[in-house]
Structure 1
Amino acid sequence: MLRYLLYKEINEEKWNDCVSASTERIVYAFSWYLNTVCMRWDAVVEEQEGRYVSVFPLPLGRRWGQLGVLQPYFTQQLGLFTTKNTKHKNIEAYFELIPDRCKSIYLQLNTENSKVIADVEKYDQAERVTFHLDLKPKYEDLLNSYRNRHKLNKAKRASLQIKPLDNINPLVSIFKATKGKELREVKEKHYRLLARLYAILKQQNAAELLQAVDHEENTLAAALFIVQPEKIIFLFSGSSEEGRKAAAMTLILDHVISRYAGSNRVLDFEGSMVPSVAKFYANFGAAPVAYVSLSKQHKPWYLKWKEAISIS
C-alpha cells in the first residue's frame, strides 16, 4: 500500500536502505542530501513487513506564495526509487497522493524512470538530457574516444597542474566573477547552500574538489564532484577568463576520467540543454541520456488577473 508521509513520519534509516537497494539509486535521494537542499520534504512510500520497498521524495517549497512540490537546487534528478519487492511501479499512483494544497509541481525524474514512464494525466511532460561517460574502459581507450583533443593539448602546453582544494570559496568566487554575473536567479542563498552541501558531502566522504593552477599557483578553474561507488557527478564548476583561454576545465575533467578509468563507474556531466555545453561534454565521448520533467502550474487569481490586464 502507498502512503503519503509527512517528513516527521519518515524513518530515515528505512529510507536510506531503500534508496541504497533501489534500481534507480542516486545520491540526490538519500535523506542526508534532501535534508541539506530542501527546507522541508515529504514523501510517498510503499512499505512491506516493516521495510520501505519504494520511495518517492517530494521536496516542498513556495512559488507565488503558495506551497508546491519543487525541484531543489543542486539536485538534477529525483522521482521514483524501486526495489525488487516493489509492487507499485506506476508513477501516476504516487502523484495521485500529492495533497491538493500543493498548487504548483515541478519534478525532474531520474533516467531510469524515463524508460518506463507513460503519460501522467494532469501534468505537462518535457524531455531533458544529461550526458554519461562509461568509465569501464582503460584510460587510453577513453582518450582515443575524445572528439576534440586540441583543448586538452592546449591545457598541457600551458603547464597547468591539477590539485585538490579543501575550501569551496575559491570556486564560488570564480563562478561569481564569471557565469554568476549572467545568472541573476542565482543569489547569495544559493552559494550558502552550496557551501553547506559541500560540507555534508565531505562528511559522507563523497566530495572531490579539484582546481587547475598555473605556475604561480593561481586558481584558473575549479570543480566539485560527487563520488559514489557507481557514479561520479560533475556537480558545480567555475573557470576564470584565463582558465577558459587555457582550457583548464578540460584538464580537470580529463584528470577525473584518467583517475577513475577502468572502474565500474559512470561520469555524469549533469546536462546540458545548452547546445554549446552539450557539445563540450560530448567531446569527451559522453553520450546523451534522457530524463523527464513533470509539471503542473497553478497561478493564484491575482496573478491571472494581472496577466489578463496586461494583454487586454
Structure 2
Amino acid sequence: MKYSIHIFSAHVINQQAWDACVSKHSNGLIYAQYDYLDRICDHWSGLVIGEYEAIIPLPWRRKYGFRYYYIPPFIQQLGFIGDTSLLKLLHEELIQKIRSYAWYGDLHFNFSNHLLASELHCKNRTNFIIDLNKDYLDIYKDYHSDLKQLLLKIPEGSFQYSKQQSIPDTIRNYQQQYASRMPHLSLEDYERLNELCRFYATRGDCIIRSALKPDGTILSDTLLLKDQRRIYHLLNTTFPEGRETHSNPWLLDQIFREYHNRDLLFDFEGSDLPGVKNFYKKFGGHVQPYFHYRRNIWH
C-alpha cells in the first residue's frame, strides 16, 4: 500500500484527526496533543502519513531566514506516533522529509522510535517510569533500601499532604528556586506553561500536590499533567528546608499512595543530571530511554 507523506503547517492540520492518532497509539504522549504543541511551541508543523495513520510533530524556529528544529521547554519527547510497522516500512522516506524540512537543530524522538534513533545516530536520554496499576505495597517494595529507611525515619506528622496550591504559585515557586539553573527559560515560556496548565485544569488533568509543615509552610510541591495513559512529573520544587527534612521523597511517596491501582504509568520525565537521575532511580522505576537527534549537514 502506498502512503502519502506531507508536512503541514500547524494551522492547516486537522486537529481532530491529529489528536485521534495521538490518543490511539501508546507512543502518543501528552506533549504531542495539538493543544499542548500550540500553547508551548514558537512554531510547529506536522508530518502526516496517509489519513493521519501516523504523525511526527516538528517544532521549529527561524534564524537568518533558515528554519531550524528546536526542543521546546516542557516537552520531553515527540517523534513518530503511530503503528511502528509503518515506521519500518517508511523510515527512509520519513528521514528524507525530516532532513529536507530543516537544515539543522535538535529533536527528541519518543521511546518507541528505536529505528529512527539507529538510522540517525541519536543519543539515548534517560527516563524512568513506574507502573501504578498495582497495590501501593508492590510499588513500595521496589524502592531502594536507603529510600525505605529514609522514609521510615521521618517522624509521623512531620508533613501535611496538600491539594490546595494554585497553578501560578506552583510555577512561581519553580521559577524562583531554579531560574538561575535554567537561563534558557524565558518569562514568556513560563507564561505559556501557565496557560497550558490552566487549559488542562479545565479538563481535570492538571494535578498539584504539596508537602507542608504543620504550620502550613511549603517545603516541596509538584505539578503533574495527566492523559489516559500517564501521569507526567512536569515540575518539582523543593525549598532549602525541604531538602534538609526530606520532604520531596515523602511527597512522591504520597502521590504513589494516592494513585496506586490506576491503569497509568508515572513518568518522571528524566533525568540525565546525575543527582536527579540517582534520586529517581531510588523509586525502583523502569528505565525507558528516548532519543536525541541533532540535525546538521551530515545527518
- Report the TM-score, using the length of structure 1 for normalisation: 0.85
Instruction: For structure 2, list consecutive stretches of 5 or more residues without a partner in the other structure.
Output: none
Which residue does 1:250 correspond to in 2? Answer: 249
Q: CA deviation at 1:102?
A: 2.4
Aligned twin of 1:8? 11
Note the C-alpha offset of 1:6: 2.0
Task: Provide closer, same or farther for how the CA distance between residues 294 and 89 of structure 1 changes in structure 2, counting only shifts above 3 A.
Answer: farther
Give yes or no for the alignment of 1:61 onto 2:61: yes
Going from structure 1 to structure 2, the CA distance change for 1:70 and 1:235 (only over 3 Å counts) comes to same
Query: Which residue is 2:217 aligned to?
Result: 218
Letter in 1 for 2:248: M
Which position in structure 1 is the counterpart of 2:293?
294
**Pair 1:143 & 2:140 matched:** yes
Matched, 1:29 2:28: no
How far apart, CA to CA, are the structure 1 residues paired with 2:123 and 2:64? 22
Distance 1:152 1:230, change over 3 A: same
Q: Which amino acid aligns with 1:230?
A: R
Question: Residue 258 of structure 2 aligns to a residue in which SS?
Answer: helix
Q: 1:14 to 1:88 in 2, by over 3 A?
A: farther
Aligned residue for 1:59, secondary structure, equals: strand
Question: d(CA) in 1 for partners of 2:272 and 2:75?
Answer: 16
Residue number in structure 1 paired with 2:277: 278
**Paired letter, 1:202:** A
In the aligned structure 1, how far is the partner of 2:126 from the partner of 2:226?
A: 21
Match for residue 235 of structure 1? 234
Q: Structure 1 residue 11: deviation in Å?
A: 0.6
Question: Where in structure 1 are there 5+ consecutive unaligned residues?
Answer: 299-312
Deviation, structure 1 residue 188: 1.8
Query: Which has the larger helix fraction?
Result: 2
Please give the alpha-carbon distance, in whole angstroms, between the structure 2 residues aligned to 1:84 and 1:99.
20
Distance 2:160 2:197 in 1: 23
Q: Cα offset for 1:223?
A: 0.5
Q: CA deviation at 1:118?
A: 5.5
Return the offset for 1:63: 5.2
Residues 43 and 61, structure 2, Cα contact 8 Å, conserved in 1: yes
What's the CA shift for 1:40?
2.0
Cα displacement string for residues 95-151 of structure 1 (whole angstroms, at most 9, x for unaligned residues): 32247462323111111113x33643xx55211110011122211121122111233
**SS of the residue aligned with 2:52?**
strand
Aligned pairs, how many?
292
Change (3 A) 1:153 1:136: same
* 1:44 equivalent among 47, 51, 61: 47
SS at match of 1:223: strand
Query: In structure 1, what is the Cα distance between the partners aligned to 2:75 and 2:45?
Result: 16
Q: 2:96 matched to which residue of 1?
A: 96
Counterparts of 2:255 and 2:269 in 1: how far apart (Å)? 15
> Is the contact between residue 4 and residue 98 of structure 1 (CA under 8 Å) also seen in structure 2?
no
RMSD of the alignment, in Å?
2.3
Residues 159/118 of structure 1: CA separation in 2 closer, same or farther (3 Å cut): closer
Distance 1:107 1:155 in 2: 42
Give the letter aligned to residue 39 of structure 1: D
The alpha-carbon deviation at position 18 of structure 1 amounts to 1.2
SS in 2 for 1:81: coil
**Matches of residues 93-172 of structure 1 in structure 2 within 5 Å?**
93-98=93-98, 100=100, 102-114=102-114, 116-117=115-116, 119-120=118-119, 123-147=120-144, 148-157=147-156, 159-172=158-171
Q: Contact 2:132–2:266 (CA<8 Å) still a contact in 1?
A: yes
Amino acid at match of 1:35: D
C-alpha spacing 1:94/1:11, structure 2 compared with 1 (3 Å): same
Mapped partners of 1:93, 1:41: distance in 2:
20
Q: Does 1:196 align with 2:199?
A: no
Aligned identity (percent) is: 24
Query: How far, CA to CA, are the matches of 1:145 and 1:187 in structure 2?
Result: 38
Residue aligning to 2:20: 17
SS at match of 2:151: helix
Task: Check the 8 A contact 1:18/1:83 in 2, yes or no.
Answer: no
1:301 is aligned to none
Check whether the contact 1:80–1:91 (CA below 8 A) recurs between aligned residues. Answer: no
Q: Which amino acid aligns with 1:131?
A: F
Q: Provide the rounded CA distance (Å) in 1 between the counterparts of 2:228 and 2:98.
A: 32
Deviation, 1:297, is: 3.7
TM-score by length of 2: 0.89
